[in-house]
Structure 1
Amino acid sequence: MNDNYTHVDTEVFYITENIMGPFEDSSEYEQLLNNFNSLLSGSCSCSGNCTQLCRCVQASGGDNYLAYLADGQKKFTLIPKSNSCPIIECNDICSCSVVCGNRVVQTGPAEGLEIRSCDKGYGLFTATFIHSGTFICEYAGELITANQATKRHENNETLGKSNYIFCLREMSNDRQPILTIVDPAVFGNIGRYINHSCEPNCIVTPVRCGSPVPKFAIFASTDIEENEELTFNYGLNDDVKQNTTDRTKCLCKSKNCSGFMPFQSY
């Protein structure tokens, strides 16, 4: 993975990918650890660049990315899915090329990203134009359980600290919810500096790169101009009717701002 970024906050440890959080004596932690140390059973035997016959592409319900040329370089954009198939990239045990068109997220964040001071503290900006569908970076941090997330959230509120915990809910084939929770407060990458917006220019999409644990991949949802701040919605399923007494005021300044930061539960 090519990741040459660093933190502006010296109290934060820079990591390029998710790491396991502290031990917890629970079945949820045991399952999380098992998934973290496991590999997806599927792999492809393609030679060179993968095609529609690739096993990983087929498991994804078709191509995940569309290739195009820009400034003489081959680049990729995310293809919107009309089905419920997961995005599965080729992995380390696949025989295809390391520059296969189905290896985008695992190669590392986009170039030209800059952490800058703003009215929200810090924010992530782009120094160059970003085409819609382009992979920006991963939202990486500690993988923790719901119990740990709840305790950390309560502790953040008590101490007046910012909350960076991100909870992803997916539905399994038997319609059972699958939770993946990441906290980049102390261990994280450049993705932790992306602020919330009620009208964001990025989306978070789960992408699996050889592991059952998905990466929280951030893609541009529209063309993003030079020097524009990168944002995503922290809670797309947020209930705006929740009691706003303890809610944090939203500073996104978008035309359709809800007024408050999303309500978080685990």
Structure 2
Amino acid sequence: VSSGAPGLCVLAGKDLEKGEYVCEYEGELVTEATAKEREQQYAQMGKGCYIFTFSLNNSRWCVDATDDSMAAAWGPGRLVNHSITPNLVGRAYLDTNQSPPKPRLCFVCRQDVDKGDELLVDYNERDPQAVKAFPWLLSS
């Protein structure tokens, strides 16, 4: 994790190969309805939102990593920045080592990544209101 002009970012600590696991996006697993409620609450509070939505087995899930008190426990995934030309991609999987099995989200390399390169993922946020509020979603 590094601190740059725009804020925190995650840099590759070694050369990474296409398809290689990088990290998990850790946080509280919530339903899409709960995530939408929280997004509104966070916006009203002027708080940054770290909710990542994904699909698995025809269901939509969300991981909320917003709670700053848990940030250290949740690892670097929440600090991976957005790009429309990312070098990482999210991969959903069912963790069958837990009972009951739990949907999870990790980031893997979309391409080879050199040591020191910033790790980036497409947040896939295309909601017109979100894009209007954060135009960088379509230009970074």
TM-score range, shorter chain: 0.7 to 0.9
The one-letter code sitting in structure 1 at the alignment partner of 2:41 is N
Instruction: State the Cα deviation string for residues 179-235 of structure 1 (Å, max 9, x = none).
Output: 211101123222111011100000011122315322201101111112100011101
The aligned runs of 1:71-110 (5 Å cut-off) are none
Q: Which letter does structure 2 place at the counterpart of 1:179?
A: R
- Alignment match of 1:180 (pick from 61, 64, 70): 61
- Residue 244 of structure 1: CA displacement? 6.5
Q: For 1:217-256, what aligned pairs fall within 5 Å after superposition?
A: 217-235=106-124, 238=126, 242-243=128-129, 246-250=132-136
CA 1:116–1:245 in 2, change beyond 3 Å: closer, same or farther? closer
Give the distance between the partners of 2:91 and 2:4, measured in 1 at CA: 26
Residue matched to 1:130: 16
Q: Within 1, Cα distance between the matches of 2:81 and 2:11?
A: 10
TM-score (norm 1): 0.45
Q: 1:224 to 1:249 in 2, by over 3 A?
A: same
1-structure distance, mates of 2:45, 2:130 = 20
Partner residue of 2:37? Answer: 151
SS in 1 for 2:11: strand
The 3 A distance-change label for structure 1 pair 132 and 122 is: same
Considering fraction of residues, name the structure with more strand.
2
Distance of 1:213 and 1:244 partners within structure 2: 29
Structure 2 residues without counterparts, runs of 5 or longer: none
Question: In structure 2, how many angstroms separate the alpha carbons of the residues matched to 1:123 and 1:229?
Answer: 7
Conserved? CA contact 1:205–1:216, under 8 Å = yes
What secondary structure does 1:125 align onto?
Answer: coil
The whole-number CA distance in structure 2 between the counterparts of 1:185 and 1:233 is 18
- How has the CA–CA distance of structure 1 residues 244 and 166 changed in structure 2, closer, same or farther, with 3 Å as cutoff? closer
**Residue 167, structure 1, aligned to residue 56, structure 2:** no
For 1:231, give the aligned amino acid: L
Give SS of 1:161's match.
coil
Give the greater-gyration-radius structure (CA): 1
Counterpart-to-counterpart distance in 1, 2:5 and 2:123? 18
Pick aligned residue for 2:105 from 211, 216, 230:
216
Q: Residue 194 of structure 1 corresponds to which residue in structure 2?
A: 80
Aligned residue in 1 for 2:138: 258
Cα 1:149–1:244, aligned 2, differ >3 Å: closer, same or farther? closer
Q: TM-score, normalised by structure 2?
A: 0.82
Taking only aligned residues, the RMSD between alpha carbons, in angstroms, comes to 2.2
Counterpart-to-counterpart distance in 1, 2:52 and 2:94 = 17
Q: Kindly provide the amino acid, as one letter, of the partner of residue 85 in structure 2.
A: E
- Equivalent residues in 2 for 1:8-47, closer than 5 Å: none
Instruction: Specify every segment of 5 or more residues in structure 1 that has no aligned partner in the other structure, as ranges.
Output: 1-114, 251-256, 261-266
